Amino acid sequence: MNPYNTPALSRPWWKSTQAVLGILALVALLGAFSFPLGFLVMIAAMVAVWVLPPWRWFARLGATFGALVLLTVGAGLGGQLDDNEAGKADAKSGGQGGASAETVSASPTASQSTKAADYTGRPLDEAEKQARSAGYTTGHHDAADEDRVIILRSGWTVCFQKADTTAQTIDFAAVKSTEPCPEKDGGPLPWPKMPDVVGATFNSAAEDLKQAGIALDRVTLDDVYLDIDTPTAEEAAEDGDEWRVCFQSPDEGTKVTSTTKIRLDLGQWTDLDLVQRCPSAKNTTYKIPANDPDYGNDNDNSTTGGGGATDGGSSSSSGGSTGGGSVGTVHPGSFCSPAGATGVSKAGTPMVCGPGSDGRNRWRSA
């Protein structure tokens, strides 16, 4: 067989010149409707030009430049068509008597004149988000006279707002979420002041604190006795006329801010108790004198506000006499006297006064 007479092998259709030209034409067509889609097809056309047809390099270079031109022309035609359609829509709306250009331009003004919603009392971040959704540009500042920088907006609460419906702006004045709002924007924070409750019953003190604007859940309770457990607020309220405030912190007239620690030291007594007044200092008195390790000591029979704390009675009149009788309710582990005296814990467990691990008499289970 003569090799010179052998017919040339045919190329696949997708490698033919016609296929590449078709891709180039598709660039212009798709670019007229979607520039991003046309751009992607142009990239594909450039790759096809340099890979598929057996063209010389200058032909391929020219086809690459042509693909870019086709995309530009297609996009331009598409833009002109959109402009024409918009112009026709404007002309149509202008030709109808019901909607003139003046009416359309007046509509935003009507929207701007809408009264802004009231965002006071809301977290600052939520208020700004909702205001922006309503079309307002927002701003904020410290509502107090301290001119603090607001960083974490979720931790601030809106106290005042000033809205300009014409300019569509709204400015929020806020304070920290744990702070009270001032009476006016830029005024001092109206912190409550600690009332004088020393000597008052617990119920009376709780009412005074409430009137001063201090929540009772902010108050820590403690007792002044060494042998009695501290009551809870519910327990103190239940016997509120028996518990008395002996000491308070802070002092009367002190501003109670969000970080101020409030404490009431309570004493408890009735007409039947031997000790019926507050001691001179905290943790220096025993509600039950027999719990005092020095109880019964002849050198300590004087009436004092601490140590033996025998206010209202002497050692000979207490239930814990040297005979070792019952002294009533006692605190387990507390010092006691005399040895052999009996009592019961707050939970009702029988207790006896006897030597502890340190050799001193303490209340322990009988």
Over residues 232-254, the pLDDT tens digits come to 989 999 887 899 999 999 999 99
pTM, two decimal places = 0.47
Name the strand (E) or helix (H) holding 342.
Answer: strand 342-344
Q: How far apart are CA 356 and CA 366, in angstroms?
A: 13
Q: Are 43 and 24 in contact (CB under 8 A)?
A: no
Domain segments of the chain: what residues? 13-84, 114-190, 202-268, 289-365
Over residues 58-113, the pLDDT tens digits come to 677 777 777 677 667 665 554 444 444 434 444 444 444 443 333 333 334 444 45
pLDDT band at 338 (very low <50, low <70, confident <90, very high): confident
The pLDDT score that the predictor gives to residue 101 is 35
- In this structure, the chain runs to a length of 366
Question: 3-class DSSP state for residue 294?
Answer: coil
Q: Are 352 and 338 in contact (CB under 8 A)?
A: no
The second-level CATH assignment, the architecture, of 114-190 is: 2-Layer Sandwich (3.30)
Average of pLDDT values for 330-358? 79
b/e per residue 35-55 (b: at least 16 CB within 10 A): beebeebbeebbebbeebbee
Q: How far apart are CA 136 and CA 50, in angstroms?
A: 55
Over residues 205-218, the pLDDT tens digits come to 999 999 999 999 99
Question: 3-class DSSP state for residue 74?
Answer: helix
Contacts of 117 (CB under 8 A, 6+ apart): 130, 131, 134
In this structure, of 105-109, 131-135, 136-140, 274-278, the range with the lowest mean pLDDT score is: 105-109
